[in-house]
A and B are shown apart, each in its own frame.
Chain A
Amino acid sequence: MRQHDETEAAPNEDDVLERAAEELRRPLRIDAALFDARVMDEVHRGSTGLRDRIAQLTRPRTIRVSPLTALAAALVFAVAIAGSALYFSAPRVHAMPTDIARTASGSPLVQFGFVAPHASSVALVGDFNNWDPKATPLRAASTGGVWSVEVPIQPGRHLYAFVVDGTVWRPDPAAPQASGEDYGEPNSALTVAEPGAQ
C-alpha cells in the first residue's frame, strides 16, 4: 500500500496564488457579437408581452391630480368643445372679388359674388338698396355654393355687406373694409368711377 505523501499531493499555497494572479493578469477578450446577444436577451427578458401591456392599460390606477391642474384640463376641454361647435355651426362664407362692368348704356353694372356652400340664402344690403335684406337676394349657382347678383350702382363711394341666412352680417373680405363701425357690424366699401373715367 502506497503511503500518501502529503508534501507532494498538497498544492503549494504560493503556486495557487500565482495561478490566480496569472488568471487575473490575462487580458480579457470579449466577443462583441456574443456580448450584444446577451445584452438583448436581458432586454427581452425584462420587457412585457402584448398581453401584459393590455393588462397594464385595463388595470385600475390611482392618478393624483392637483385641483389647479384639473381646472386647467377642464378649461382646455371646454374651449375645445366650444371652438369645434362654433366651427361646425358657422356658415362657410368666402367672398369673391367684386367685378364692375358697364351696361350698354354706359351705366355701371356691378357684379357681387359670394361663396357660401351651406347657406340657404344670401342677400346684398347697402346704401344703394336702403339696407333692405329683402331687396337684392343673390342667386345660387347649381354647384359650388356660389351666389351672385348684378346690380346697377351710381358712381361714388358706397357701403355694403352680405346677409347670410337672414341673420348673419358679413363684410366682403375681398373688398376694402370701411373705417368705423357705427352699429357694430363692419361694412365693405365699393368705389364706382364715373363711366367716362379712364
Chain B
Amino acid sequence: MNHFSRLAFAFVLLVCAPIALAAQDPRLDARLDASTRDAVVALIDSARSVGIPSEPLVQKALEGASKHADGAHILVAVRMLERELGVARAALGAASSDAEVIAGASALHAGIAPAALTRMRAARTHGSLTVALAVLSDLIARGVPGDTATTVISALTVAGAQDAELLRFQQGVERDIAQGATPSAALGVRAQSAFPAAAPRRTP
C-alpha cells in the first residue's frame, strides 16, 4: 500500500467511522429510511463533536417517524433542534448540564432570547436551571407573554426559589388561567403572593 492509498484509507476511516458508529443505533435503523437516517446521523455526529447533547436529536427523529412525517420534514425538525441546542449551550455556558441545555433549547423554541438564558445563568450560578427554564417554557406555552414570564421567573430564581416552589408556582398560574384569569394577570397575582419582590410592577 503506497503513501497515497494509506492517506485515502485514513481519510475514509475518519469520515466514515463516526457515521458508522452512530448508524449502529438500532433505533434509527429500524424507524427511518436509509437516506433520512444517514442525514440524521450526520447531524447527530456534528452535534456530538461540538458538545451538543445528541439524544434529543435522536428522539426528535424518532418522534417524526412515529408520527409518519416524511424524511424532509424530519430533517428540518432535527436541524432546527440542533441549532437551538447549540445556541442554548452557548448562552448557558459550557459547564451547563445536558438537561439544562435541553430545557434552554425548549425556552428558545418558545421564543425566549438567548440573552435571557445568559442572565438567568448569571442569576443562579449554583444549582440547576433545568426546572426554571422548563417552567418558563411552559408558562409561555400557556399564553404568558415571554418578557413578563422571563422577568418573573428570573426574579424568582434570584430570590432563591427552589425547584419544587417553581413547579408549584407554575401549577398555581395554570389553575388560575383554567379558571378564567388572563395569563398575565394570573402570573402577576401568583408572583405577588409568592414572592412580592419578584412581582412585575403595574403601570398606572
Contact A183 B73, beta carbon cutoff 8 Å: yes
A152: chain B residues within 8 A (beta carbon): none
B99: chain A residues within 8 A (beta carbon): 155-157
Q: What is the minimal beta-carbon distance from B1 to any residue of chain A, in angstroms?
A: 42
For the complex, give the distance between the alpha carbons of A194 and B128 in Å: 9
Task: Tell me if B137 counts as interface (CB < 8 A to partner A).
Answer: yes
Given known contacts A182-B60, A197-B131, A157 and B141 CB-to-CB distance under 8 angstroms: no
A-B pairs with beta carbons under 8 A, tally: 94
Contact of A191 among B56, B59, B109, B167 (CB under 8 A): B167
Contact A189 B138, beta carbon cutoff 8 Å: yes
Contact B56 A127, beta carbon cutoff 8 Å: yes
Segment 100-143 of B: residues with Cβ below 8 Å from A: 102-103, 106, 109-111, 128, 130-131, 133-135, 137-138, 140-142
Contact A194 B137, beta carbon cutoff 8 Å: no
For the complex, give the distance between the alpha carbons of A184 and B128 in Å: 32
For the complex, give the distance between the alpha carbons of A182 and B109 in Å: 11
Contact B164 A156, beta carbon cutoff 8 Å: no
For the complex, give the distance between the alpha carbons of A189 and B139 in Å: 11
A169: chain B residues within 8 A (beta carbon): 67
Contact A130 B103, beta carbon cutoff 8 Å: no
Contact B163 A156, beta carbon cutoff 8 Å: no
Contact of A198 among B64, B137, B162, B170 (CB under 8 A): B162
Q: What is the minimal beta-carbon distance from A73 to any residue of chain B, in angstroms?
A: 37
Contact A176 B103, beta carbon cutoff 8 Å: no
Contact of A155 among B27, B60, B130 (CB under 8 A): B130
Task: Tell me if B147 counts as interface (CB < 8 A to partner A).
Answer: no
For the complex, give the distance between the alpha carbons of A184 and B68 in Å: 10
Measured as residues with beta carbon below 8 angstroms from the partner, the interface class of chain B is 35 or more
Contact of A156 among B102, B109, B137, B138 (CB under 8 A): B102
Known: A157-B133, A180-B109, A182-B60. 7 other contacts (CB 8 A): A127-B59, A130-B27, A155-B130, A156-B102, A157-B99, A183-B64, A191-B131
Ordered nearest first, which 10 A-B pairs have the shortest CB separation?
A: A176-B138, A197-B163, A179-B110, A157-B134, A191-B134, A127-B59, A156-B99, A182-B77, A193-B163, A198-B162
Query: CB within 8 Å of A: which residues of B?
Result: 27, 56, 59-60, 62-67, 69, 73, 77, 80, 99, 102-103, 106, 109-111, 128, 130-131, 133-135, 137-138, 140-142, 162-165, 167, 170, 174
Query: CB within 8 Å of B: which residues of A?
Result: 125, 127, 130-133, 155-157, 159, 169, 176-180, 182-185, 187, 189, 191, 193-194, 197-198
A-B contacts, 30 listed (Cβ < 8 Å): A127-B59, A130-B27, A130-B59, A131-B59, A131-B62, A131-B65, A132-B62, A155-B130, A156-B102, A156-B134, A157-B106, A157-B133, A169-B67, A176-B138, A179-B140, A182-B64, A182-B77, A182-B80, A184-B69, A185-B67, A189-B134, A193-B131, A193-B164, A193-B167, A194-B128, A194-B163, A197-B131, A197-B164, A198-B162, A198-B165
